[in-house]
Structure 1
Amino acid sequence: MFGIGRGLSYLIKAASFAGAICVVLMMLHVTADVIGRYLFNAPLPGTIVVVANYYMIIVVFLAIGAAEEQRAHISVDVLTDLMPERPRNILSIFASVLTVAVVTVLMISGYTEATKKTAMVATKEQGSQLFEVWQSYWFVPLGAALMIAVAVYQILIMITGARSGLAEAPEAAFIND
């Protein structure tokens, strides 16, 4: 089990690295567009399309697996902090199962939409140019699948009590401690 967790952790690190690269590329792309637009009166074609349909999608959907690994999604623990450990663990398992169910719906919907957009070779128009965007639709089911894999693995770890292997957030990262 530990090896599976380490493997998932490496996948998440790779996805996070890709997201970080996209943040830097987005910053450079927008900066180049602004400089080109206001200093040379020659903006970069397709900046809005690329930022909205590639960079932002990659940053958001590849990061949800990392957030799940570190249990960094928003949670309200007012009542559960008062419970004994066993009911708290049962609720945690239930919440993770619910997460898997909801994100599975997202993954299936994203996959369905991605296949449609791929078949029609979806494009977006900016100015007088068309830009292909069908590839970006595949990041939604990919990111959702990574999140599902992490959530299912965490459920198995909670049930079995085995060593995780996932790189969890350090304790200092939590505000309420």
Structure 2
Amino acid sequence: MFLIGRALSYLVKSASLVGTICVVLMMLHVTADVVGRYLFNAPLPGTIVVVANYYMIIIVFIAIGVAEEQRSHISVDVFTDLLPERPRNMLSVFATLLTIAVTAVLMVGGWTEAMKKTRMVATKEQGSQLFEVWQSYWFVPVGAALMIAVAAYHVIVMVTGARSGLSDTVPEAKFIND
């Protein structure tokens, strides 16, 4: 069980690395576009399309598993903190199962849309050029699937009491959760 958690943690860290690389690439891409546009009157073609349809999608959806692994999604614990441990744990399992259900709807919808866009080879137009964007639609179901896997693993660990293997919190950010 612990090894499954370690493997999921490795996948999440890899997704986080991909998201981080995309943030840096987006920053460099936009900077190069601005410099080209205003200093040389030669903007990079397709910057808006690439930023909106690749970088942003990857940053948001590939990395949602990171937030699930670290339990960093927004939660309001005003009343649940007053409950005894057992009911609080039961509510946590229920909330995680609800998260899985909602994310599964997102994953199936994303999969359906990705299939449709792939079949039609979806493109976006910027200026006089067409840019293929059908590939970017696949990041939604992939990111949602990773989040579902991590959330389902959390449920199994909560119910069985097994050792997790996931990196639940970042040590430097631990004070935020206190």
Q: TM-score, normalised by structure 1?
A: 0.98
Which runs of 5 or more structure 1 residues have no equivalent in the other structure?
none
User: AA paired with 2:49?
Assistant: V
Match of 1:148, SS state, is helix
Residue 108 of structure 2 is matched in structure 1 by 108
User: AA paired with 1:146?
Assistant: L
Deviation of 1:170 (Å)? 4.0
For 2:162 and 2:28, locate their aligned partners in 1 and report how far apart those are by CA, in whole Å.
44
1:9-56 per-residue CA deviation (whole Å, 9 max, x = no partner) reads 000000000000000000000000000000000000000000000000
Match of 1:131, SS state, is strand
Deviation of 1:63 (Å)? 1.1
| RMSD, matched Cα | 0.9
1:143 correspondence with 2:146: no
Aligned pairs for 1:32-51 within 5 A: 32-51=32-51
User: AA paired with 1:82?
Assistant: L
Residue 174 of structure 2 is matched in structure 1 by 173
Q: TM-score, normalised by structure 2?
A: 0.97
Residue 6 of structure 1 is matched in structure 2 by 6
For 1:101 and 1:19, locate their aligned partners in 2 and report how far apart those are by CA, in whole Å.
24
Aligned pairs for 1:6-155 within 5 A: 6-155=6-155
Decide whether aligned partners of structure 1 residues 121 and 14 sit closer, same or farther in structure 2, where only a CA change above 3 A counts: same
Deviation of 1:173 (Å)? 2.5
For 1:163 and 1:173, locate their aligned partners in 2 and report how far apart those are by CA, in whole Å.
20
For 1:174 and 1:47, locate their aligned partners in 2 and report how far apart those are by CA, in whole Å.
38
For 1:143 and 1:170, locate their aligned partners in 2 and report how far apart those are by CA, in whole Å.
20
Size of the aligned set, in residue pairs, is 177
Deviation of 1:168 (Å)? 1.1
